[in-house]
Each structure stands twice: as structure tokens, then as C-alpha cells.
Amino acid sequence: MNGKGVAYLALSAAIALGACSRSTSSQRQQAEVPANPVLELDVTPISAYEAQFRVSTNLPPPVTVVAGLDLADQKPDDVWIGYSEHVVLTGATTTFVLDAAKAEDPLPAASYEAGVSFYPRWGAEGNPAAKAFPELEAVQLVELQASGQTREAAVRRVELQKWVMLNINMNVPWDERFYVNKLGQYQKSKADLSRLHDAYYFPDADVTLLVNRLRGELTLWRLGRATQ
């Protein structure tokens, strides 16, 4: 056999070996993909606001999930109360702590649905092996003391704040009786906005209304206790 024939045989053998290697790699990858995807959750409260999540899955890592603490038994049209964040699962079991003290509004002492959810549309970004799997969810009921406020008071606060956001505009007439009937009793103090303003803080709503005494107008509102 001449030199060209030897070179041709060597090239053919290399191509066949590469194809075999790719086939073996593909088979190995397919074998590692679970037929029945699983997402399991074990949650333990470790402080008033904190809960330790232990998430187990057979999805090929890394994948991103939403981990959250949602006030239990909320209706679809209720104002949502809870806290959530994105967490990356790096292996068969991932442990992390969710700190609900980071929530925008203080959470009440109540039962919460602790949950993790996987959505392949974005949770498998950069991980083709996980994109083919369906949405997964795991939920467990836990008790948190959080702020110590009752569930009823927290729900009322959020509903009143929503009403303020949707209904109060700047520079409208000040009607003390109307706002007391709607928001509850207030605590009055001087405002730093100007010497003509008073600050009316409504604890039930955790909202402050800044009122111009001279004009008899509600100048603006703030969430929380404020003076300007």
C-alpha cells in the first residue's frame, strides 16, 4: 500500500473514532437526564423571619428557582403578602436561608406557604439539558412570628396603602373626618416640608399625609412615618 492509502486509512479511523466518542458522550448525557424530574423541599424556621430551605432535585444543575414565603390561604384577588427571591440550585441538594425581613412590608405572625418553583423558560438559561423539563413546584406550610403583627392587621395595612396609592392625588382638599373614617386615627406632628405643613401619621395604614394648614390642602402622602 502506498503512502496515500495509509494516510486515507488513518484519516478514516480518526473520523470513526471521533464519531464513536461523540455518540458515547451523547448516550452518557441522555443517561444522566432523569425520566421523572423531582423537586422536593424541607423547610425549617430558624428565627422570627428566617427559614432554612433544603431543596433536593434530580434536574441537571445548575438551575434557577423562585423560593418564597407566601401568606397562606390568600385568594387570587387579594393584595399579595410575602417575600421571594431567585436561588440557584447547584447540585442534588442545595441548602439556603430565606430572610423575610427583606420584604418591602413587615410580615405578620402567621402560617406561610414556603415554596420553590422551577420554570424552564428562564430557570434553565444556559443549561440545555434542563430546558426540556416541565414546570415543577414544591410547597410546605410553616409558621413564622415575623413582626408579631396579626394577619388581620397586616392585610388591613396593605389594603389601605393600596387605596391611598390609587385614590389620593396631590393638592386636594383636606377633609379630616373623611380620612379618619377611611384610614383610622392619626398621630399629628409638625412637618419639615415647610412651617405651614402638619404631618398626619395613620398607624393602621402606616402612611403619612402632609397637609398645608393655610390652604387646607393635602399636599402629598408618604409610606411610613415621615415629615417631608
**Tens digits of residue pLDDT in 161-216:** 999 999 999 899 999 999 999 999 999 999 998 999 999 999 999 999 999 999 99
What is the percent of the chain where pLDDT is above 90?
79
Q: Is the pLDDT of residue 224 over 80?
A: yes
User: Nearest to residue 117, comparing CAs of 86, 142, 74, 95?
Assistant: 86
Task: Give the number of other CB atoms < 10 A from CB of residue 40.
Answer: 14
Mean pLDDT of the chain: 88
pLDDT band at 111 (very low <50, low <70, confident <90, very high): very high
pLDDT of amino acid 112? 98
User: Mean of the pLDDT values across residues 105-111?
Assistant: 94
| Cβ-contact 118, 59 below 8 angstroms | yes
Convert the pLDDT of each residue in 21-74 to its tens digit.
444 444 334 435 567 899 999 999 999 999 999 999 999 999 999 999 999 999
pLDDT band at 77 (very low <50, low <70, confident <90, very high): confident
User: Mean of the pLDDT values across residues 93-122?
Assistant: 96
pTM passes above 0.85? no
Pairing mode of beta strands 110-118, 63-71: antiparallel
Q: Is the pLDDT of residue 4 over 60?
A: no
According to DSSP, residue 12 is labeled H
| Cβ-contact 107, 80 below 8 angstroms | no
- SS3 helix, strand, coil % of the chain, rounded to 5? 30, 35, 35
pLDDT of amino acid 34? 65
> CA 102, CA 50: separation in Å to the nearest integer?
10
Our CA angle for 130, 64, 104, nearest 5°, is: 155
pLDDT of amino acid 157? 94
pLDDT of amino acid 6? 42
